[in-house]
Amino acid sequence: MLIKIYPENPNEKAIEQVVEVLKKGGIIIYPTDTVYGLGCDISNPKAIERICRIRGIKPEKANFSFICHDLSHIADYIKPIDNTTFRIVKKALPGPFTFIFNASKNVPNLLSSNKKTVGIRVPDNNIARCIVKELGNPILSTSIKDDDELVEYSTDPELIHEKYENLVDLVIDGGYGDNEASTIIDFTNGEIEILREGKGNIEDYL
């Protein structure tokens, strides 16, 4: 199923429809402020396993991120951070960053058996944040990769739907996506370590 949602003013009923799919263990493809994401409810182990099968990876080895609604949402899934880190994160979010933190005990067991860290995102995209707010907990997410070696990420939602319609339950057309992923910053050692240069420039927030 492909549904159109406008990012400037997401339709409430459409958001509720997406959330119903997630609550039933469905998998969605949705827009962010960077590339399109493949996501499910983090509290549904079977949905997480489905995403892992689609991506061909084992849950315990997967580097998924959690899409959160705001900073207070993040606090549930990470261990306490110092004031300097908090100030940087507060300035940078919502934005095109994935921040790696030490994980709290609220991270699902399926993902945390060998992992003590978690990637957190608060995208600057109303559709993604409205879905998470309505759902009440984060979306487990990974980027949509493209099979074309020259094009790393798919950007056209209709083409994404053609490719994934038999693998996922719902694709959101939120307009063309970006083809540049988020910048990944590791805060687990109390310092800023850039693991991947992407769309966001952390220097703007230091």
CATH code (residue 102) = 3.90.870.10
pLDDT for the residue 195: 96
Give the distance from CA 68 to its chain's centroid: 8
The residue range of the domain holding 159 is 2-196
* Residue corresponding to tokens 């934005």: 95
pLDDT by residue for the chain (206 residues), tens digit each?
999 999 999 999 999 999 999 999 999 999 999 999 999 999 999 999 999 999 888 877 778 899 999 988 898 899 999 999 999 999 999 999 999 999 988 887 766 556 688 999 999 999 999 999 999 999 999 998 777 666 678 899 999 999 999 999 999 999 999 999 999 999 999 889 999 999 999 999 99
Q: Which residue has the tokens 């063309």?
A: 176
Closest CA to 131 of 28, 50, 57: 28
Does residue 174 fall inside a structural domain? yes
| Residue 189: inside a domain | yes
CA distance 181 to 198: 5
Q: So what's the pLDDT on residue 190? A: 83
Could you tell me if residue 203 is inside a domain? no
**Each residue of 2-34: b (16+ CB within 10 Å) or e?**
ebebebeebeeebbeebbebbeebbbbbbbbbb
Inter-CA distances, 64 with 35, 117, 149, Å:
14, 10, 22
Structural domain includes residue 157: yes
Q: How far apart are CA 183 and CA 186, in angstroms?
A: 10
| Whether 11 contacts 1, CB under 8 Å | no
Do the domain assignments include residue 60?
yes
204 assigned to some structural domain: no
Residue 192 lies in a domain: yes
Which pTM value belongs to this model?
0.93
CA distance 18 to 172: 9
Task: Specify the pLDDT at position 72.
Answer: 86
Q: What SS3 class is residue 172?
A: strand
pLDDT for 149 equals 63
Q: Is residue 138 part of a domain?
A: yes
Side chain identity at residue 11, one-letter code: N
How many domains does one find in the chain? 1
